[in-house]
Structure 1
Amino acid sequence: MTKTSRPTSTLSSQTLFRGLDVVDAVEAGYQTVQDIADHTGLPFSTTHRLASALVQARYLQFEPRRGYRLGARLLELGFAAYRDSDLTRSARAGMEELAEQTKDTIHLAQLDGDEIIYLDKIGGQRPISVNSRIGGRKPVCSTGVGKALILDENEDQWRHRYAYDEKRGNVHVPLDAWLAAMRKYAVGGYAFDLEEDAPSICCVSAPIRDASGQIVAAISVTGTTDYTDKAQLRTLIPVVRRVAESISEKIGGLAVDRKFVARR
């Protein structure tokens, strides 16, 4: 996971940002004081002091021979944020409708910097499951929801995102082919993931818009190639778009006719 960039801090807020860096490091899988210190660049003694305070406040927990893990307080805050989100509440009925109709995994996601983050998930009813979780992060350029979230960006922005993911080994489609697909998706108001993020996993996604017409989230149907091929994904495009548009209406947004959106 890429370390989150913090704003320039004053002395009074420096401890807060350092503590958040420690939490981010544990979330990324660093479990010992030395590993966390090496990842964050903090002194060993500072890292130990902050980690101990975070354990006391229940933001982290410590297990002998295993190290630090995220604590119960973060789980409580996560559920509170989920419960209070207008978007997740508004999207839930549509997600359940898609889950019932397709029997596949349904995701709701948002952009978070140069990655996407899953806001909600309904697991599929197939024997083979999709490995994802609420709060999990994925690349933008190789995922269906990631592409749907950037449909309104211009080609310079697309190239920048491609370069970012390519540098990290997260995109395996040649740039020209990827851009050609993005142009097609932008016109159609949907996006595919054709085993680009993970072998045997494919999905179709559509954007969700707010009252200003801006894309604020994306919803997807994700399955495996054992049960879904490209032809079946195409039949789901109008279904997923309709649900995305119904969610947009619930949060005050309007459907956008892609034929009249000029590419910049």
Structure 2
Amino acid sequence: MTTAATSDGNRGKTEPKGSQTLLRGLDILDQVVDGPVALAELSARMGLTRSTTHRLATALIDRGFLIFMPRKGYRLGPKLLHLGFVAQSQVDLIQIARPHIEALAARTGDTVHLGRLDTDRALYLDKISGRRRVEISSRVGDRHPLTSTGLGKALLLDFAPAHWRHLFEDDQARGAPAADYATWERRMRRYVAAGCAFDLEENEDRIRCVAAPIHDASGRTVAAISVSSAAQYMDKERMAALSDDVLATAQRINLALGQEPAPAAEENDEAEE
């Protein structure tokens, strides 16, 4: 394994003292990224004296970048976790999702939306029009009911069912298309199991859609995507087929947002014999 010693020696010749200290601190973070490291081992990896390593590590502990664990050593601290989430929240979701939803629109020929939760409504962030001559009356910046749109329902899949009725009744009171809650809830439970949601002409006459949530690195739902088209192009069989494509596209966006890929299934040698 390459240690920081050689690079530190070179830096000392070209970098001001303050910059060298900063770079050594960053090198310490690199050295403990895989787990706790004792002071003696960390000092050896860095090519520094124990006293210098201890001084740098103590400064990082004071700032929350490191934690010292008795009998184990130094590991990454909570400040880095906080900064990671802050950086994640600043990622341009639209820019990251755009190539994926453009590809989805090209494959399906239908209109694709990207949206997120905006208090108690679904806010449309982006729209890629399809090739079909189907007019979808949505615009970027529109806010639509959560409980009558496919995209809105996808945003609710991680909500506790106890919250659904309140949202449903609020949407109904504000003029969402009339619907029966028992039927709506039964469908939502199926959508939760499937990981994607449908709009069966509930929000707009003769328009159906398939939608799936987008998750960030922490697994939190941060947005959703949907494929929308005229009901004549969205029979039961096609909506089922589209579900796979929409879910796969959502997963690609999840990975681009920093979500860890799912571990590969282990081979079952006994089954093959």
The partner residue of 2:179 within 158, 164, 173 is: 173
The percentage of aligned residue pairs carrying the same residue is 45
Measured after TM superposition, the shift of residue 146 of structure 1 is 0.2
Partner residue in 2 for 1:119: 125
1:125-164 matched pairs, under 5 angstroms: 125-164=131-170
Partner residue in 2 for 1:252: 258
Deviation per CA, 1:19-53, whole angstroms, max 9, x where unpaired? xxxxxxxxxxxxxxxxxxxxxxxxxxxxxxxxxxx
- C-alpha distance in 2, partners of 1:239/1:159? 30
1:169-248 matched pairs, under 5 angstroms: 169-248=175-254
- C-alpha distance in 2, partners of 1:230/1:248? 27
Q: 1:254 to 1:238 in 2, by over 3 A?
A: farther
> Quick one: which amino acid aligns to residue 119 of structure 1?
L
Give me the TM-score of the superposition, normalised by structure 1.
0.63
Give me the TM-score of the superposition, normalised by structure 2.
0.61
Q: Which range moved further: 168-177 or 118-127?
A: 168-177
Alpha carbons 2:212, 2:224 under 8 Å: kept: yes
Q: 1:131 to 1:254 in 2, by over 3 A?
A: farther
Secondary structure of the residue aligned to 1:226 is helix
Deviation per CA, 1:31-84, whole angstroms, max 9, x where unpaired? xxxxxxxxxxxxxxxxxxxxxxxxxxxxxxxxxxxxxxxxxxxxxxxxxxxxx9
Q: Which range moved further: 192-201 or 131-140?
A: 131-140
Measured after TM superposition, the shift of residue 226 of structure 1 is 2.7
Alpha carbons 1:108, 1:119 under 8 Å: kept: yes
The partner residue of 2:97 within 88, 91, 98 is: 91
Measured after TM superposition, the shift of residue 171 of structure 1 is 3.9
Query: Looking at CA atoms only, which structure, 1 or 2, has the larger radius of gyration?
Result: 2
Measured after TM superposition, the shift of residue 253 of structure 1 is 2.4
Unaligned runs of 5+ in 1: 1-83, 257-264
Measured after TM superposition, the shift of residue 187 of structure 1 is 1.0
Alpha carbons 2:208, 2:229 under 8 Å: kept: yes
Measured after TM superposition, the shift of residue 225 of structure 1 is 1.2
- C-alpha distance in 1, partners of 2:142/2:128? 14
Measured after TM superposition, the shift of residue 230 of structure 1 is 2.3
> Quick one: which amino acid aligns to residue 238 of structure 2?
Q
Measured after TM superposition, the shift of residue 209 of structure 1 is 0.1
- C-alpha distance in 2, partners of 1:190/1:234? 10
Partner residue in 2 for 1:103: 109
- C-alpha distance in 1, partners of 2:195/2:188? 10
Unaligned runs of 5+ in 2: 1-89, 263-273
- C-alpha distance in 2, partners of 1:115/1:239? 25
Alpha carbons 1:210, 1:254 under 8 Å: kept: no
> Quick one: which amino acid aligns to residue 246 of structure 2?
V
Deviation per CA, 1:231-261, whole angstroms, max 9, x where unpaired? 21111111100000110110112578xxxxx
- C-alpha distance in 2, partners of 1:163/1:236? 30
Measured after TM superposition, the shift of residue 86 of structure 1 is 1.4
**Aligned CA-pair RMSD:** 1.7
Alpha carbons 1:95, 1:122 under 8 Å: kept: yes
> Quick one: which amino acid aligns to residue 229 of structure 1?
D
- C-alpha distance in 1, partners of 2:236/2:165? 25
Query: Across the two proteins, how many residue pairs are aligned to each other?
Result: 174
- C-alpha distance in 1, partners of 2:126/2:164? 25
- C-alpha distance in 2, partners of 1:103/1:255? 28
Secondary structure of the residue aligned to 1:116 is strand
Q: 1:221 to 1:255 in 2, by over 3 A?
A: farther
